[in-house]
């Protein structure tokens, strides 16, 4: 059996209870060495065989899973954050499907949730925005033309960019073509929830400089929008004059 487990954003104790239990029972762990905190491997038994997928091809990963499964071993494929975002997980699941190998997925805390916690922020604020756009600048992987940053930027919603810390000049110029301005608040969160986490706050006009000044080139999220310091409205749910199923006005 193969378990795809979300490792969480970094801190060792931000894996789910279920994910930790799967790790404790693992005979083989294949982890995303470029992003998963190696401290998480301490949850696995000492005898567990560990593979770093950063040094492997898809075929090699599947070969390890196939052999391990044939030997009746418990296998954990440990992905950073939650596997459902930029995890290259579908191609592994499809390969297992084709081989008739059983697998399941255990969710994790995505880095964008870890970053909100570190920023002590709420992405959806009444009166400001009720939407979050999760996207990336085009890099090694192309982004469909209809999802160009300049097009997504028309909404002025909270925007979270993965995999884009090395492309900030492009990010800035594309976002300025939309509803954001030079003074729109933004933040860079490097290694959210890790011990060496860095948070840099500023405005869109200075986004590339913010990264340069703090030596941030990768493993960071770019967060853009008024949620960072705009004036919002109080929620209706907790308003004294508002009745709900559970509370009378
Ligand atoms: N599945 C992961 C994302 C994998 S893509 C998740 O849910 O978080 C890898 C990108 O995620 C990195 O380039 C970076 O943009 C972001 N990332 C992953 N972990 C991070 C962390 N702890 N802090 C900030 N960004 C992180």
- How much distance in Å is there from the Cα of 220 to the middle of ligand 1? 7
Residue with tokens 């995505």: 110
The pLDDT score that the predictor gives to residue 241 is 87
Please state, in angstroms and rounded to a whole number, the distance separating the CA atoms of residues 171 and 204: 9
Please state, in angstroms and rounded to a whole number, the distance separating the CA atoms of residues 38 and 40: 5
Choose among 157, 158, 165, 159: nearest CA to 191. Answer: 165
125: DSSP letter? B
- How much distance in Å is there from the Cα of 248 to the middle of ligand 1? 43
- How much distance in Å is there from the Cα of 219 to the middle of ligand 1? 6
Q: What are phi and psi of 45, to 5 degrees?
A: -60, 150
Q: Mapping DSSP to helix (H, G, I), strand (E, B) and coil, where does residue 59 land?
A: helix
Q: What is the pLDDT of residues 61-72, one digit of tens each?
A: 999 999 999 999
Q: Mapping DSSP to helix (H, G, I), strand (E, B) and coil, where does residue 97 land?
A: helix
Q: pTM of the full predicted structure?
A: 0.95
The pLDDT score that the predictor gives to residue 8 is 98
Residues lining ligand 1, CB < 6 A? 9-10, 35, 79-82, 85-87, 110-111, 114-115, 162-163, 189, 191-194, 218-221
Mutate to test the pocket of ligand 1, among 5, 10, 81 (most ligand atoms within 8 A of CB): 81
Positions of the chain with pLDDT under 50: none
């Amino acid at each position: 059996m193969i378990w795809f487990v979300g490792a969480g954003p970094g801190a060792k104790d931000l894996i789910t209870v279920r994910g930790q239990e799967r790790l404790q029972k693992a005979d083989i762990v294949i982890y995303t060495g470029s992003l998963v905190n190696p401290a998480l491997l301490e949850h696995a038994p000492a005898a567990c065989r560990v593979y770093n997928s950063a040094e492997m091809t898809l075929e090699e990963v599947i070969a390890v899973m196939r052999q391990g499964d044939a030997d009746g071993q418990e296998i954990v494929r440990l992905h950073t954050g939650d596997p459902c975002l930029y995890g290259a997980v579908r191609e592994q699941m499809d390969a297992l499907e084709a081989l008739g190998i059983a697998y399941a997925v255990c969710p994790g805390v995505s880095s964008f949730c870890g970053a909100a916690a570190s920023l002590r922020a709420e992405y959806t604020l009444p009166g400001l925005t009720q939407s979050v756009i999760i996207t990336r600048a085009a890099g090694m992987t192309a982004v469909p033309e209809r999802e160009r940053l300049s097009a997504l930027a028309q909404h002025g919603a909270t925007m979270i960019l993965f995999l884009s810390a090395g492309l900030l000049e492009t990010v800035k110029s594309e976002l300025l073509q939309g509803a954001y301005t030079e003074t729109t608040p933004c933040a860079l969160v490097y290694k959210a929830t890790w011990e060496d986490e860095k948070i840099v706050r500023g405005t869109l006009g200075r986004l590339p400089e913010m990264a340069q000044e703090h030596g941030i080139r990768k493993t960071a999220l770019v967060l853009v929008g008024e949620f960072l310091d705009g004036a919002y409205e109080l929620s209706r749910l907790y308003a004294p004059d508002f009745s709900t199923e559970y509370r009378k006005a």
